[in-house]
Amino acid sequence: MSVFELIDESRMDILREISTVGAGHAATALSQLTGRRIDLEVPRVLLAPVQDVPRIAGGAETVVDGLYFRILGDARGVILMIFPEESAREVVRLALGGRRVPPEDPLSISAMCEIGNILTSAFLSAIGQLAGLSLIPSVPGYARDMAGSILDPVLIELSRLEDTALVIETLFREAGEGIRGHFFLLPDPHTLEATLRAAERAGSPRGGS
Amino acid sequence: MSRLAVGIADLRAAGPGEVLAAVGLGSCVAVAIRDPTRRRGALAHIMLPQQSEGLRRPGENMNKYADVAVTEAVRSLVGFGCRRADMEAKIAGGASIFDLGRGVEGGDIGARNVEAVVRALAGEGIRLLASDVGGREGRTVEYSVDTGELAVRTVRGPRRTI
């Protein structure tokens, strides 16, 4: 099954709606965690050649903090969160109550993982509720490295099945521009179908109770 | 001197005075091959070990597979008049960026990519001169067709040339 066979315009809309709700919950969680108002842009849902994904993420050589989660439960897929370096330091500083720690400090790494856990759980529980699926994030993998290498495990996994990636991308932004983050959801094409079916059965999220 | 970018799953050939670059290699592997006498070289940026792992869909980009890309690189160099017996190779990449834990599917992909590249080069009878592989860090590489030097950069580690 190819993603092209699965995705038409109306299904793109469903994905956009589901993601908007999920990202809204995640943004709220991040606001509460940092004590700052975090806005989010309406998520982009795009089909892109695997080779183009590093550029979408801000360039293959840009140094970023990356968190990698597998989706467990009723669907499979991968979530990758990418924070540009300065944003990552700022999120960690706010989460630690104003304390500055170097990025390689275990305290910083554990704070990043915790932030990732909270955002991913908020996102997945919201879309799981809409789609009637139980979705649980795995323990995160963390790395601070070039965006290209952070994306590698995800793109490699996808490219076993596809040369095209379905990317659901959300940009978080603090009003003061101190924090920016990319949230990439890359569903496995086999389970994308199951998720869409469940969402279609559950009805449009906009009209749902 | 012109720098040609080789994206993920891409393969490019270059001539005298040119430099081939692959940016942000994680578990992917850059395979650099050249014929020093004829000053022609090629760089492949592979993602997966072998084509048998894929779905073999029509129109699939086959250069993402180590076995296909190495054969293609050699063939394109032969097309430029290079001699197989004169060709030499260097490789870099194959890191494990995230600690995904033992037994996790895909956790050892970097090491498997490196093995596949080494095997494919041996199968083509190409000498492997040097390698900079494994570890936990991403790499950016630049390959000079003229000198055969493969410069490797990482975020934290020292810059080196193999």
Residues of chain A positioned with their CB less than 8 A from the CB of B30 = none
Residue B61: φ, ψ to 5°: -75, 105
C-alpha distances (whole Å) from A169 to each of A2, A42, B48, B152 are: 20, 9, 25, 31
Select from B8, B64, B99 the Cβ nearest to the Cβ of A54.
Answer: B8
Q: Could you tell me which residue, B151 or A4, shows the higher pLDDT?
A: B151
What's the pLDDT band for B85 if we cut at 50, 70, 90? Answer: very high
A84 vs B117: CA distance, rounded Å = 33
Q: Note the pTM of the prediction, 2 decimals.
A: 0.86
Q: Could you tell me which residue, B127 or A38, shows the higher pLDDT?
A: B127
What's the pLDDT band for A184 if we cut at 50, 70, 90? Answer: confident
Cβ of A157 and B106 within 8 Å?
yes
What number of H helices and E strands is found in chain B? 2, 10
Q: Which two tokens stand for residue A143?
A: 């790395």
Angle formed at CA A78 by CA B45 and CA A185, multiple of 5 degrees? 95
User: Which candidate in B98, B114, B133 is best for mutational testing of the A interface (most A CBs within 10 A)?
Assistant: B98
Q: Which two tokens stand for residue A75?
A: 């669907």
Please give the pLDDT value at position B104.
56
Establish how many alpha carbons lie within 13 A of residue B24's alpha carbon, considering only the half-sphere containing its beta carbon.
27
Please give the pLDDT value at position B101.
56
Residue A133: φ, ψ to 5°: -125, 150
User: Which candidate in B8, B25, B96 is best for mutational testing of the A interface (most A CBs within 10 A)?
Assistant: B8
Averaged pLDDT, A157-168: 78
Most confident of A15-19, A25-29, A130-134, B151-155: B151-155
What's the pLDDT band for A177 if we cut at 50, 70, 90? Answer: low
User: What rounded mean pLDDT belongs to chain A?
Assistant: 80
% of residues, chain A, pLDDT over 90? 10
Cβ of B106 and A153 within 8 Å?
yes
Q: Which two tokens stand for residue B118?
A: 């080494």
Q: List, in sequence order, every beta strand (DSSP E) within B11-65.
A: 11-14, 18-25, 29-35, 40-46
A208 has a pLDDT exceeding 50: no
